[in-house]
Structure 1
């Protein structure tokens, strides 16, 4: 009995994919610190922000596993505890909806107004991405566009809106994060290209073909950095030169070490830090 409970608890932990939250929590905190500065960390809104973001991410990853069940069983993916029978579909759905409803209630009680509206949009998009009848993740290119919103731009805007109403000037950063999130999704599509084809999963990469997907990735990558470095110039022009130098060095070192795929992530993080520095010092 005790072993069965422990096994199920471990299964639910695996289903929430907590280790995959890091980048998305960072997007929310980026918006929060950009609006409120470093002292926002000690504000009473920090804890409910982190809790609601965590509940949202728990919902998004869990509900995705629930409705990826057939594909994951066909491709024999062991990362999905529902597909391998560690936890049941029904209890995973109940857990997912519990996280969503708890997060929505906490967001409304703690923040209300614009943050709660954004949080509701996050929940609806994450649900529509994974669950039928819409299941955006099987409708290219809506899959990548929706991912750019609910795992990108809207997280940034949610963190910002907790402090103040988002002005139009920060849309530049929101667009950059939107593009960066699409790049993350396309990278995953390219990595899973063969297994997705074998399982009959329709993604943007399967729809376009691997060569055209790689070309699209390069175009969006260039556009992402154009928007991001323009944002760096607008919001933090005094740090533009040292950040550019750091980015070039990081890309060069990564290329020498054979880690070209990580170079774009390092370059993006350094640029976002450069944007943030004047607002936290």
Structure 2
């Protein structure tokens, strides 16, 4: 039973992804009972996204000793069986569907779309997670924009210009989460899978991440102006939106800084080649730097 619970990988997302449906429910004025139901529904849905990802990645993960040793995919390690995982996924899908039907038909439609996208992200032959740009776009939709909009509808709210603006902001943040994860996992992904960052390269991935962060600030300031939020709140939001992606790839930035310093030192000494030793603690930074992207 414990290994089946590990398939949910709750520790990888519990501090981040539930914020988006929570924001939607609160903004729409949902009462405490409705908000709790929405959070329960999305707890099961996000869990499903990680379980279905583990299910379709089992064969790939078996070839990676580090992933097997990490215990994040018990199916790859042989500690759970495929039939049991299918039953688990069926249960995880059923709960949010039943809960959403009781709240709102329109909200249920959004829930269904969200579940289908979560499946298409990992499922064989479709594998949005391995398609150029589609990986980031689907990640932003299924973890950012759709949970926010679904929650608004589930508690009886309406979609407006303001909520669409915020959903675009959350979409960008969801894209950032995956791009940051791909930057950190660049070396590991090369030769084993295809991602947007393996296609464009690590440096271009960093530029893409920076562009998304800047765009998120623009949307945040626009939303703050529309909802007439204070300058302090707007500034704090902008600061967070710039700090979050920087923190996510801090290990990689430290590595680049070290290499630049080593190269400058070599140039000052007239060395033709400067060996770059790994940054101390890089592994710890890499493992914990961007844990929220679904890979």
Matched, 1:45 2:39: no
Matched, 1:261 2:247: yes
1:233–1:240 CA contact under 8 A, matched in 2:
no
Indicate the residue corresponding to 1:128 in structure 2.
Answer: 120
Separation of aligned partners in 2, 1:30 and 1:245: 17
Q: SS of the residue aligned with 2:175?
A: helix
Indicate the residue corresponding to 1:268 in structure 2.
Answer: none
2:22–2:35 CA contact under 8 A, matched in 1:
no
1:143-195: CA deviation from partner (whole Å, max 9, x where unpaired): 11011100110011111112312123311101000000000000111111111
Q: SS of the residue aligned with 1:85?
A: coil
- Higher Rg: 2
| Structure 2, unpaired ranges of 5+ | 251-295
1:78-136: CA deviation from partner (whole Å, max 9, x where unpaired): 3211111111122112211221123212211x213211011001100000001122111
Larger helix percent: 1
Q: Size of the alignment, in residue pairs?
A: 244
| Structure 1, unpaired ranges of 5+ | 1-8, 265-281
Indicate the residue corresponding to 1:240 in structure 2.
Answer: 231
Deviation at 1:31, TM superposition (A): 0.7
2:38–2:151 CA contact under 8 A, matched in 1:
yes
TM-score (norm. length: structure 2): 0.76
Show the 5 A alignment for 1:1-281. Answer: 9-19=1-11, 20-36=13-29, 40-42=30-32, 44-76=33-65, 77-78=67-68, 79-108=72-101, 110-163=102-155, 164-198=157-191, 200-237=192-229, 239-241=230-232, 243-244=234-235, 260-261=246-247
TM-score (norm. length: structure 1): 0.80
Name which of structure 1's ranges 46-55 and 112-121 shifts more when overlaid on structure 2: 46-55
Separation of aligned partners in 2, 1:55 and 1:75: 28
Separation of aligned partners in 2, 1:229 and 1:245: 10
1:71–1:201 CA contact under 8 A, matched in 2:
no
Q: SS of the residue aligned with 1:21?
A: coil
Aligned-residue RMSD, C-alpha: 2.4
